[in-house]
Amino acid sequence: MADRIVNGRRRSDDLLLDTALRDFYGAADEMGLSESLISMLSYPERRLDVSVPVEMEDGRVRVFKGYRVQHSTALGPSKGGIRYAQDVTGAECEGLAMLMTWKCSLAGIPYGGGKGGICCDPTALTRREKERMSRTYGARIAPIIGRWSDIPAPDMYTGGQEMVWIMDTICKMLGHFEPAMLTGKPIDYWGARGRTEATGRGTSTCGLELMKVKGLNPANMKIAVQGFGNVGSYTALLLKEAGATIVAISDTTGTYYNPKGINIEKAFEYMNNNPSQRGRKLTGFEKEGCEKLGLNDILFLDCDFLFPCALQGVINQETAPKVKARYIIEGANSPTTVEGEEILKDAGAIVVPDFLANAGGVIGSYFEWAQNLQGFSWTEADYNKRLVDLMTENFNRVWAFAQDKKVTMRRAAYMQAIKRVSDIVALRGVYL
């Protein structure tokens, strides 16, 4: 993916990185940020590219490409997930790491932004291949990982198991135990009770807070949730528990629609108790009283709230004009392009941006890290309460700023997040 300079500013051929850069420039210009700061913050501080040779089951060695990017450490150690997906590139990780900088800054937690990933098809790998890949990747990024330098976590197609493999490898290299080097660990292995549901809890909190400020009753709301992975599944479950009707869910096998409401607990059960569901998919869930529709149809259904919790770039120039929901809460990272957002804004829709709406994950990671450093674990109730309180406070701060400045919530969130980072860069100087 090539870089370009347009009007003196960095742009990229990678859609996600380019979207992150354009959103940043828009807010930076509105704030009157200096060109020096703009150019500093449009590049990551550090990017490590690694090769990851893996001995496959047939005895041959395949080499995968891996990355770890630290966009900014102005506010503290860089923080962000590691994803396994076929479209992972260094440029994409740069864009995602930049989003993490704004996410941590906006959330008021003491971290900069990072991200990593391996370009692979995780569904085509056996468990042992995945273990070897995770361990080798961990060993190769180890020099820049640590509880006070860069703290990874799960992201797309990674979870507690991958974190254990990576952490175990790095701890063995160090010769001592260091649980705070990485978050999203299983509960019995220095993880935190509540972390699994944390992103969905935060995303659903944003939805419920938006209903409050708009005077809407959750019991009257029809909701569509795209993606039934970690973020989408818990978002749907928690919104249903709050009284809303989830009219549609989806995954890579299609959209499952029931205007009377989907039984989300059943969908969880269906995935967890059906060993034939390779990669825990919803295949066949139409048997549970749903109509099966096409993959993208979930975006265009008749509903009040749409939660895109799956892929980047899904709400764009082509799809945005067909979105009927008036409220869009971004559970995924970068699901809306700059053009898509313009169309939604002109149509009067409200978008709660990704780095506000899905910050529950990294806020939960911060709680896990704090517990690890203390060597003391909190109760789940305490963890959940602190998470919901912080998400509620952050949502309302951005909402009030957006109303006051008459800007979109994305612009308001960017302006607040950039301000905290730029103030610290001004204190610390260029020599960061």
The residues of the shown chain that bind ligand GLU, judged by CB under 6 A, are: 79-81, 103, 153, 155, 183, 333, 358, 361-362, 365
Which residue, 303 or 357, is less far from ligand GLU as judged by CB? 357
The minimum distance between CB 272 and ligand GLU, in angstroms, equals 22
Which residues, 6+ apart, have CB-to-CB distance to 396 below 8 Å? 209, 213
The minimum distance between CB 234 and ligand GLU, in angstroms, equals 13
The minimum distance between CB 410 and ligand GLU, in angstroms, equals 16
Neighbouring C-beta atoms of residue 194, cutoff 10 Å: 23
The minimum distance between CB 335 and ligand GLU, in angstroms, equals 12
Q: Element (H or E) spanning 311, and its range?
A: none
Q: DSSP letter for 171, please.
A: H
Q: Which of 65, 79, 103, 115 is catalytic?
A: 115
Which among 255, 202, 148, 138 has a CA at the least distance from the CA of 392? 202
Which residue, 225 or 362, is less far from ligand GLU as judged by CB? 362
Report d(CA 317, CA 340) in Å as an integer: 5
Which residue, 79 or 193, is less far from ligand GLU as judged by CB? 79
The minimum distance between CB 140 and ligand GLU, in angstroms, equals 19
* Alpha helical stretches, state H, 214-335: 230-241, 264-272
The minimum distance between CB 332 and ligand GLU, in angstroms, equals 9
Which segments of 245-338 are extended strands (E)?
A: 245-251, 254-257, 291-293, 305-308, 327-329
Which residue, 137 or 300, is less far from ligand GLU as judged by CB? 137
Contact criterion met (CB below 8 Å) for 207 and 234? no
The minimum distance between CB 253 and ligand GLU, in angstroms, equals 23
Sign of the alpha-carbon torsion through 411, 413, 415, 417: negative
Report d(CA 199, CA 178) in Å as an integer: 24
Which residue, 198 or 323, is less far from ligand GLU as judged by CB? 198
Which among 300, 298, 289, 313 has a CA at the least distance from the CA of 255? 298
115 is catalytic: yes
The minimum distance between CB 198 and ligand GLU, in angstroms, equals 8
Strand partners, 78: 112, 150
Report d(CA 46, CA 335) in Å as an integer: 25
Which residue, 109 or 323, is less far from ligand GLU as judged by CB? 109
Cα→Cα distances 305→100, 126, 244, 309, 396, Å: 25, 38, 10, 12, 18
Q: Element (H or E) spanning 392, and its range?
A: helix 380-405
Which residue, 116 or 254, is less far from ligand GLU as judged by CB? 116
Report d(CA 145, CA 218) in Å as an integer: 42
- Side by side, the strands of the sheet bearing 254-257 are 291-293, 254-257, 245-251, 222-226, 305-308, 327-329, 350-352
Which among 97, 51, 88, 15 has a CA at the least distance from the CA of 316? 15
Cα→Cα distances 121→65, 67, 87, 125, Å: 12, 15, 9, 7
Q: How far apart are the first and last CA of the chain?
A: 27
Which residue, 81 or 218, is less far from ligand GLU as judged by CB? 81
Catalytic residue annotation: 115
